[in-house]
């Protein structure tokens, strides 16, 4: 008999897949097992969906309670300590209290229009305050690792100096909320064979076995896309204004005009659709100075980085909604494509249906170990990029402040000396006076060079770090699959060791299906990790080279200026 539960608090569905329930309502549970604190249930009308586990109490008969308790003991008695622990990790609801469930509701309310996007609010001003989540400056996802210790992945990139701390955008916050783990990975539902959808051949995605393990099959038609001409536009007789960018993809050579809110909408679609792919975060929204040249330039650079990561990704670059975004110029077609994307069924768990894997299944233990290694890696990378960002930020501030000031003070002192010397009007003195004065100008110019330099070599480093901080914030969700794998392995072992298969409690086909689906998730996850390493090496190499080239040019410019000053003494 299916288990029942009584609702103890009202709950209003905020996302697809959730079920709105009222206090005292009786629900039927599809499974007793909660998934990250959520229970799949159906109500008396037959509507099915997720309800927070802590909003309900499970109803059991005395007999059931007894058998549950009695069975519980011997059922896991043969499991080795490690396996048991792992299983516990999966089967026990996470230790989250009511606060954790209620607090994010406000967040969801704010994010609503991203998820329930409609043509009606499409024309809102792109920086309408309703799109900005009320989040603290530090946006982060807390990841609980298997050892029980936690680390914080933080996307907060501190503004230089004392500038106002920009509010983090909803975009950054969205996939870090309470629903993210489920919504993004969709892993559990898929593993349990609950994901169903029709997959056309064109939607098929291949993971292939490369030199370093599973890889996304490369896009056979690679392209890139430039972002130019940020232009200020107005509407409603100048009441509203916004910036549009000209996007020119290399594969069509046909420019399209897009606003930040279009990027934002696209991001929401991608984040929803791809559970094991790290969708690059958009550059932060910023409430102030949006029409200032600096801000526009900074946002454009951020969008260029973002676009680069999009077009570099074998899966993201090919997907329909992104192609629609890059190529559609007709307004009607745009709205059709938009509606189609919002109704896409191959999102979340269903996305996994589109993946085909190499013939030989992976060794799950190896997969787990790789993912463990990657988790350690991301933690270290997160720490070191945070540190580098803070250092570089401070270094830029010092160069623009103290360094500039020191060189200019020296320059002014040389100037003052030359002015004092000019009081001696003898001819043999005038050459020196002029040369010292020129040296003073030189030092003032060098001070100015120091002021200008960070925008050429340190800002790009910070842009890169911001992008990777975004990826690092995504990865706890991406590698969530590890939990699924652990639980599955433990479960399978238990079943097999106790001959549960033979006893009919779990048939072989079901066990094989779970293994197959776990293999798909594993392949996709490892492919995504591999892709991350590839672009990381590519990006950091390019950025370090760029940084050093700029630094060399900078010091050469200083040297040239000093040489010019030195020459003035030749005839002095």
Minimum Å gap between C-beta 155 and a second copy is 17
Q: Is 261 annotated as a binding residue?
A: yes
Minimum Å gap between C-beta 318 and a second copy is 24
**Among residues 34, 9, 13, 35, which one has the least CA distance to residue 22?**
9
- Judged by CB under 8 A, the residue of 381, 478, 485, 521 near a second copy is 381
CA end-to-end span of the chain, whole Å?
Answer: 104
Q: Residue 356: in which H helix or E strand, if any?
A: strand 355-356
**Among residues 163, 303, 296, 159, which one has the least CA distance to residue 241?**
296
Q: Is 536 annotated as a binding residue?
A: no
Give burial (CB, 10 Å; 0-12/13-18/19+) of 342: middle
- Per-residue DSSP letters for 37-49? TEEEEE-TT--EE
Contact 222, 316 (CB under 8 A): no
- Per-residue DSSP letters for 101-150? HHTTHHHHHHHHHHHT--GGGTTS-TT-GGGS----S--EEEEE-TTS-E
- β-pairing, 26-29 vs 38-42, is antiparallel
Contact 137, 156 (CB under 8 A): yes
Give burial (CB, 10 Å; 0-12/13-18/19+) of 540: middle
Q: Stretches 111-119, 193-201, 304-312, 390-398: which one binds a second copy (CB under 8 A)? A: 390-398
Q: Is 435 in the site for a second copy (CB under 8 A)?
A: yes
Q: Alpha-carbon distance 172 to 186, whole Å?
A: 20
- Judged by CB under 8 A, the residue of 212, 291, 297, 502 near a second copy is 212
| 12/549 with CB nearer a second copy | 549
Q: Is 451 in the site for a second copy (CB under 8 A)?
A: no
Task: Look at residue 426 and give its three-state secondary structure.
Answer: coil
Minimum Å gap between C-beta 209 and a second copy is 15
Q: Is 151 in the site for a second copy (CB under 8 A)?
A: no
Task: Look at residue 255 and give its three-state secondary structure.
Answer: coil
- Judged by CB under 8 A, the residue of 71, 297, 384, 497 near a second copy is 384
Q: Stretches 29-37, 217-225, 249-257, 385-393: which one binds a second copy (CB under 8 A)? A: 385-393
| 151/395 with CB nearer a second copy | 395
Site for a second copy in 409-428 (CB under 8 A): 409-410, 412-414, 416-417, 419-421, 423-424, 426, 428
Q: Is 572 in the site for a second copy (CB under 8 A)?
A: yes
Q: Is 142 annotated as a binding residue?
A: no
Q: Is 482 in the site for a second copy (CB under 8 A)?
A: no
| 399/498 with CB nearer a second copy | 399
Q: Stretches 54-62, 220-228, 518-526, 552-560: which one binds a second copy (CB under 8 A)? A: 552-560
Q: Is 449 in the site for a second copy (CB under 8 A)?
A: no
Give burial (CB, 10 Å; 0-12/13-18/19+) of 149: exposed
| 246/534 with CB nearer a second copy | 534
Q: Alpha-carbon distance 242 to 127, whole Å?
A: 9
Q: Alpha-carbon distance 55 to 44, whole Å?
A: 17
- Judged by CB under 8 A, the residue of 30, 105, 115, 432 near a second copy is 432
Q: Is 138 in the site for a second copy (CB under 8 A)?
A: no
| Residues making contact with a second copy (CB under 8 A) | 212, 373, 376-377, 380-381, 383-385, 387-388, 391-392, 394-395, 398-399, 402-403, 406, 409-410, 412-414, 416-417, 419-421, 423-424, 426, 428-429, 432, 435-436, 439, 533-534, 536-537, 540-541, 544-545, 548-549, 551-552, 555-556, 558-559, 562-563, 565-566, 569, 572
Annotated binding site: 259, 261, 299
């Amino acid at each position: 008999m299916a288990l029942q539960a009584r609702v103890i608090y009202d709950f209003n569905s905020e996302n697809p897949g959730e079920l709105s329930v009222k206090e005292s309502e009786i629900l039927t549970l599809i499974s007793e097992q909660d998934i990250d604190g959520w229970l799949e249930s159906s109500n008396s009308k037959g509507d099915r969906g997720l309800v927070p586990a802590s909003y309900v109490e499970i109803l059991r008969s005395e007999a059931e309670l007894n058998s549950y308790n009695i069975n519980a003991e011997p059922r896991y008695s043969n499991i080795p300590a490690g396996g048991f622990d792992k299983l516990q990790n999966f089967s026990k609801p996470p230790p989250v209290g009511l606060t954790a469930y209620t607090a994010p509701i406000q967040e969801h309310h704010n994010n609503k229009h991203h998820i329930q996007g409609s043509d009606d609010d499409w024309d809102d001003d792109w920086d309408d305050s309703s799109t900005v989540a009320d989040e603290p400056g530090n946006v982060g996802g807390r990841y609980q690792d298997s050892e029980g210790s936690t680390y914080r992945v933080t996307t907060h990139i501190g503004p230089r100096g004392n500038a106002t701390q920009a509010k983090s955008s909803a975009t950054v916050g969205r996939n870090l909320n309470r629903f993210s783990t489920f919504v993004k990975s969709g892993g559990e539902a898929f593993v349990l064979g609950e994901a169903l959808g029709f997959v056309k051949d064109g939607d098929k995605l291949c993971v292939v076995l490369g030199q370093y393990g599973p890889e996304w099959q490369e896009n056979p038609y690679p392209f890139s896309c430039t972002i130019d001409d940020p232009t200020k536009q107005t509407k409603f007789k100048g009441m509203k204004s916004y910036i549009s960018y000209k996007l020119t993809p290399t594969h069509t050579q046909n420019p399209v005009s897009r606003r930040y809110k279009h990027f934002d909408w696209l991001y929401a679609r991608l984040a929803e659709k791809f559970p094991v792919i790290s969708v690059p975060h958009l550059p932060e929204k910023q409430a102030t100075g949006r029409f200032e040249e600096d801000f526009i330039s900074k946002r454009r650079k951020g969008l260029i980085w973002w676009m680069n990561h999009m077009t570099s990704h074998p899966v993201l670059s090919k997907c329909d909604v992104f192609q629609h975004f890059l190529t559609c110029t007709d307004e009607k077609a745009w709205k059709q494509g938009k509606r189609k994307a919002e109704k896409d069924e191959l999102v979340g768990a269903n996305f996994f249906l589109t993946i085909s894997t190499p013939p030989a299944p992976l060794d799950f233990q190896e997969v787990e170990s790789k993912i463990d290694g990657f988790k350690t890696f991301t933690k270290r990378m997160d720490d070191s990029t945070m540190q580098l960002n803070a250092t570089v930020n401070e270094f830029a501030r010092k160069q623009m402040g103290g360094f500039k000031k020191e060189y200019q003070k020296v320059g002014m002192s040389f100037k003052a000396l030359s002015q004092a010397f000019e009081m001696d009007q003898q001819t043999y003195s005038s050459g020196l006076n002029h040369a010292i004065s020129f040296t003073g100008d030189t030092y003032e110019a060098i001070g100015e060079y120091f002021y200008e330099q960070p925008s050429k070599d340190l800002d790009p480093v910070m842009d890169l770090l911001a992008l990777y901080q975004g990826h690092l914030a995504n990865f706890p969700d991406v590698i969530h699959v590890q939990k699924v794998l652990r639980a599955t392995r433990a479960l399978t072992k238990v079943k097999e060791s106790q001959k549960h298969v033979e006893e009919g409690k779990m048939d072989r086909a079901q066990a094989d299906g779970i293994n197959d689906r776990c293999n798909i998730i594993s392949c996709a996850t490892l492919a995504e990790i591999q892709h991350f390493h590839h672009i990381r090496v590519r990006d950091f190499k390019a950025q370090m080279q760029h940084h050093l080239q700029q630094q060399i040019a900078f010091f050469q410019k200083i040297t040239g200026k000093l040489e010019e000053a030195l020459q003035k003494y030749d005839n002095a």
